[in-house]
């Protein structure tokens, strides 16, 4: 498997590329010379060895669920697709129905931004947890998989692996990597972290009030004890309610 710089002369520390690399890119992405497009200077192409040199008819763009500059993504995809009048499919995962509507809206906006001129774009949201299962449902001959270079997926329990490398290996197909785009934390991960923090705080509050109530029952006078215990229960309930509201 080899990494091919789309514009090798502008990559820091790049070495002279053999003439076959440009031939490989031209065979997979026919049309205008990609080295004439400055925005693509950070992109690379993963080409399995031997690489199937089929002309691309459609770009399958894998959109992560994390925060992303979607305007820049749409611009980069359109530049890539317009060079050879390619179709575009924006693909995203939605393992649960809770975020499906937001994901579909997000992809529809991306497709609308790219659908212009000779470029036809559409969106698809797959109800799967794995990118490999999602790609397998849509991948056909003549597709070029496109993903953000920094997109990483879980690998072997606790590890992570770059999605582009994993896809090239799994499908033995070229994968185009969009460089220079950063991915923020996904809403699902943020919600899990928030829930974990909220539960930890809730347990700590319950333990704290329980200790306080034991102290009050043992050290307060017989007349004040019920009042103080009642106030502590009210305060405990209000505090937990605020935490539940914060969790959403």
- The pTM for the full model equals 0.69
Highest mean pLDDT among 13-27, 151-165, 175-189, 213-227: 151-165
Q: What integer pLDDT is reported at residue 17 of this predicted model?
A: 39
150 and 220 belong to one structural domain: no
- Does residue 86 have a pLDDT over 80? yes
163 and 204 belong to one structural domain: no
102 and 196 belong to one structural domain: no
199 and 170 belong to one structural domain: no
85 and 105 belong to one structural domain: yes
68 and 151 belong to one structural domain: yes
60 and 173 belong to one structural domain: yes
168 and 200 belong to one structural domain: no
More confident residue, 181 or 200: 181
List, as own/partner pairs, every contact residues 150-155 make where C-beta atoms lie below 8 angstroms and the sequence separation is at least 24, other chains included.
150/181, 150/182, 150/183, 151/62, 151/64, 151/183
Q: CB-based contacts of 13: which residues, under 8 Å, 6+ apart? A: none
11 and 94 belong to one structural domain: yes
Whose CA is closest to 176, among 49, 73, 35, 46? 46
211 and 137 belong to one structural domain: no
What SS3 string covers 59-121?
A: EEEECCCCCCCHHHHHHHHHHHHHCCCCEEEEEEECCCHHHHHHHHHHHHHHHHHHCECCECE
- Name the residue range of residue 195's domain: 188-247
177 and 228 belong to one structural domain: no
Q: What is the pLDDT of residues 22-64, one digit of tens each?
A: 667 777 887 766 667 777 788 888 887 776 678 889 999 999 9
- What number is the average pLDDT over the span 156-175? 84
More confident residue, 139 or 34: 139
Considering 142, 157, 183, which residue would you say is the last residue of a domain? Answer: 183
Q: What is the pLDDT of residues 3-13, one digit of tens each?
A: 666 654 333 33
Considering 183, 198, 214, which residue would you say is the last residue of a domain? Answer: 183
- What number is the average pLDDT over the span 108-132? 91
Tally of domains within the chain: 2
CATH, residue 116: 3.40.50.620
- What number is the average pLDDT over the span 158-183? 86
153 and 227 belong to one structural domain: no
- Does residue 141 have a pLDDT over 90? no
Considering 183, 199, 227, which residue would you say is the last residue of a domain? Answer: 183
């Amino acid at each position: 498997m080899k990494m091919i710089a789309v514009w090798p002369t502008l990559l820091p520390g790049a070495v002279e590329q053999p003439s076959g690399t440009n031939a490989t890119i031209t065979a997979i992405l026919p049309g205008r010379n990609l080295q004439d497009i400055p925005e693509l200077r950070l992109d690379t192409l993963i080409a399995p060895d031997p690489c199937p040199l089929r002309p691309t008819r459609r770009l399958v763009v894998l959109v992560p669920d994390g925060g992303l500059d979607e305007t820049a993504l749409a611009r980069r995809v359109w530049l890539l697709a317009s060079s050879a009048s390619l179709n575009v499919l924006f693909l995203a995962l939605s393992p649960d129905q809770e975020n499906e509507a937001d994901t579909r809206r997000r992809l529809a906006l991306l497709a609308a931004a790219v659908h212009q001129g000779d470029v036809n774009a559409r969106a698809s949201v797959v109800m799967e947890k794995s990118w490999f299962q999602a790609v397998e449902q849509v991948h056909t001959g003549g597709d070029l998989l496109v993903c953000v270079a920094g997109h990483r997926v879980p690998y072997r329990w606790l590890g992570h692996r770059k999605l582009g490398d994993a896809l090239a290996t799994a499908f033995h197909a070229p994968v185009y990597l969009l460089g220079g785009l950063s991915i923020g934390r996904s809403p699902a991960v943020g919600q899990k972290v928030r829930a974990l923090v909220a539960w930890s705080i809730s347990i700590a509050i319950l333990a704290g009030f329980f200790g306080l109530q034991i102290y009050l029952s043992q050290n307060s006078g017989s007349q004040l004890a019920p009042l103080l215990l009642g106030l502590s229960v009210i305060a405990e309930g209000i505090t937990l309610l605020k935490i539940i509201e914060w969790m959403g």
